[in-house]
Amino acid sequence: MSQPVLQIKDLKTQFFTDDGVVQAVDGVSFDLHPGETLGIVGESGCGKSVTALSILRLVQEPGRIVNGQILFRGDDIVTMSDDEVREIRGKDIAMIFQDPLSSLNPVLTVGFQIEEAIEAHRKVPSKMALSRAVELLKQVRIPAAESRVRDYPHQFSGGMRQRAMIAMGLANAPSILIADEPTTALDVTVQAQILELLRDLNRDLKTAIILITHNMGVVASLCTRVLVMYAGRVVEQGPVERIFKDPQHPYTWSLLQSIPRLDSDRHDRLLSIEGFPPDLIRPPRGCRFNPRCQFRVDRCLHDDPALMNVGPDQDAACWVTMRRALAPNGELRG
Amino acid sequence: MFTRGALLYIGQRLVLIVFTAVAVSSIVFLGVHRLPGDALLNERRPDPAAEAALLHYYHLDLPLPEQYVRYVTGLLHGDLGESYVNRGVQIMPLLLREARVSAEVGAAAIVFTVGIGILLGVIAAVRQNTWVDYLATTTSVIGYSMPNFVIASLLFLLFGIGLYAWTGGALYYNSGWTGTYGTFDQILIPGFALGFPYASIVARLTRASMLEVIRQDYVRTARAKGLTSRVVVIRHALRNALIPVVTILGPLVIGIVTGSVVIENIFGIPGLGKEFATSILNRDYNIVIGLFTFYAIIIALANLLVDLLYTVIDPRIRY
């Protein structure tokens, strides 16, 4: 396989609040290869977004990256100067956010905000920046781009705003696009269009995409590889087909069980995961998922599992793994 | 720059301002004429015949309704009548001249208010909870809690007396007004005294507003684009943070107008504020009514300007 374009090694990001240190991201490692589409899934508050923000060093006070490396083409973003990181932001690694309305500046035109993204990294005459902005809006399929370029964000619909955000992200043809819940605030038909757009961009421009979502369906439709996060850790990772067909971590399994399926009996209850994600100031001892895990064994209560190989290119951090938990004899249960 | 709708809106507001001016002057007219005593109370009492002639000259012998109609007719033609104290002095040109003087000091005050206020507010917000923030916040609390006449006295002490002693008389602030137009230092020092308390209010509001805006998603987007922090703060954060600040500019202009009555009297500036005090003490009714009308128009225009400023800052607001 080719050299990874981005390597995250043992990343820890913590928030130093008055109540204590929140271990929002606690030892996350993964690689991203050129042109790859990686999904990061998990519930709210599991550290997905903080991981993404850490990559561009956009974590706000009182948050801080306290450990680890973020190697972009071999250079460590964590130890770079502010100016060096600024050079990477929006040029090599672009990011789009969840709520496209609040993520666009309401007092500046959409076109201006795109031009600005171009001019932050290249000296170009403003006329060229404008025509490039129009071109980008066309690329993300905004109708009548020549006139809409002068509109303000409130004059755009929700889907168009997210397209405009994507156009802004693509302004400098980045090698990585990080999309943090890009479809969550949109209705379903628009979601599908945005995902299709991202898929086309990945195919045509070879932009690697990190897609952060809590929606397994979104991952299935776009990603080739999945990272499942829980309580600041990666609990399972692997190719998307393997994860969906044969999840090994009980958390991944529960997430998949909680998706309604058209082919299931209407009277079947959907499985929901009991309890809430743990308090990251004082995470539970042992496996962090153990208080909510229906398959836990004694070892889970005091021994914290690391990622272990559980199948072809698939790792899970679990002492039990679903393969054994669901074994017909059920010897490990209880 | 303005759409047809906006121009229509401005037109409506201007018509309303005319009505406001007439209403204010009517109320003041009636109020002044209900005062005990009459316009000639402070005069040496002339003989009855001369007094009657004087009253007739100013139409003060007519019934009040008739006087009122004459006054309003004059007002609508831009004629405010003649001073009772200085016979033959037309009030309109007098007030216009004084308004220019006041405008100079007032403009300096507004520049101080907005300039210092926004600067302190932004610096405090960007360096939140550092000594810079504490210094800026303390400065604005001081300004906020000191009345303008106290600041004025301190400025006298500092620039009038302190600077005189320090430079041996080579450089100092000399109060008073040398001509129709003030020289630079004659505007700056009163302007500062007049504007500083309001600068503090603007600073506090800007700081609070900036702190809120700086956590907004679009500021994060701006940073994610790789913009420099200066561009992020000024272009993305400040512009949005100014929207609530613009709201208080209206009341602030009123504060500066009323404050100018005190400041102009302290510094001996021949503007509307000084005339205001003098004319009331002299029972110069026509000037009093004219002044109130002037003030009403100035404040109404200032508020119209503030409302138009909104549309410049925030494209979501349209009239």
CATH code for the domain defined by A6-223: 3.40.50.300
| Residue position matching structure tokens 């948050």 | A63
- Whether the predicted pLDDT of B2 surpasses 90: no
Per DSSP, A3 falls in state P
Calpha distance A204→A209 (Å, rounded): 13
Calpha distance B291→B279 (Å, rounded): 9
| A–B interface: beta-carbon pairs under 8 A | 77
Q: Which helix (H) or strand (E) holds A5?
A: none
For chain B, give the mean pLDDT: 86
Best probe of the B interface among A81, A87, A95, A103, by most B CBs < 10 A, is: A103
Please judge whether B221 and A103 are an interchain contact, meaning their C-beta atoms are less than 8 angstroms apart: yes
At B209, is the pLDDT very low, low, confident or very high (cuts 50, 70, 90)? very high
pLDDT of amino acid A328: 64
Verify cis geometry, omega within 30 degrees of 0, for the bond prior to A283. no
- Scanning A150-209 for CB atoms below 8 A from B yields 152, 154, 165, 168
What percentage of chain B has pLDDT greater than the value 70?
93
At B121, is the pLDDT very low, low, confident or very high (cuts 50, 70, 90)? very high
pLDDT of amino acid A333: 46
Query: Considering only A236-245, B7-16, B52-61, B172-181, which range has the smallest mean pLDDT?
Result: B172-181
Q: Mapped to the 3 state alphabet, what secondary structure does A11-52 carry?
A: EEEEEEECCEEEEEEEEEEEEECCCCEEEEECCCCCCHHHHH
Q: Give the bridge partners for A44, in sequence order.
A: none
Residue A67, min C-alpha distance to chain B (Å): 22
pLDDT of amino acid A334: 41
Please judge whether B220 and A58 are an interchain contact, meaning their C-beta atoms are less than 8 angstroms apart: yes
Q: Of A91, A104, A121, which has the smallest distance from its Cβ to B221's Cβ?
A: A104
Q: Of B226, B231, B315, which has the smallest distance from its Cβ to A89's Cβ?
A: B226
pLDDT of amino acid A278: 83
pLDDT of amino acid A188: 84
Q: Of B225, B231, B239, which has the smallest distance from its Cβ to A107's Cβ?
A: B239
Backbone phi, then psi, for A64, in 5-degree steps?
A: -150, 145
Residue ranges covered by each domain of chain A:
6-223, 233-325
Higher-scoring residue by pLDDT: B210, B39: B210
Reduced to 3 states (helix: H, G, I; strand: E, B; else coil), residue A229 is strand
A225 vs B: CB within 8 A = no
DSSP line for A265-293: -TTSPPP---S-PPPSSSPPSSSTTGGG-
What percentage of chain B has pLDDT greater than the value 90?
31
ipTM for this prediction: 0.87
- Whether the predicted pLDDT of B65 surpasses 70: yes
DSSP line for A240-269: HHHHHHS--SHHHHHHHHTS--TTS-TTSP
CATH fold for domain B1-319: MetI-like fold (1.10.3720)
pLDDT of amino acid B91: 87
- Whether the predicted pLDDT of B126 surpasses 50: yes
- Whether the predicted pLDDT of B143 surpasses 70: yes
Give the residues of chain A that fall short of pLDDT 50. Answer: 333-334
Residue B187, min C-alpha distance to chain A (Å): 35
What's the pTM value of the predicted model, to 2 decimals?
0.82
pLDDT of amino acid B161: 83
Best probe of the A interface among B130, B214, B218, by most A CBs < 10 A, is: B218
Please judge whether A121 and B226 are an interchain contact, meaning their C-beta atoms are less than 8 angstroms apart: yes
At B42, is the pLDDT very low, low, confident or very high (cuts 50, 70, 90)? low
Kindly compute the dihedral angle of the four CA atoms of residues A42, A47, A48, A50, in this order, to the nearest 10 degrees: 170
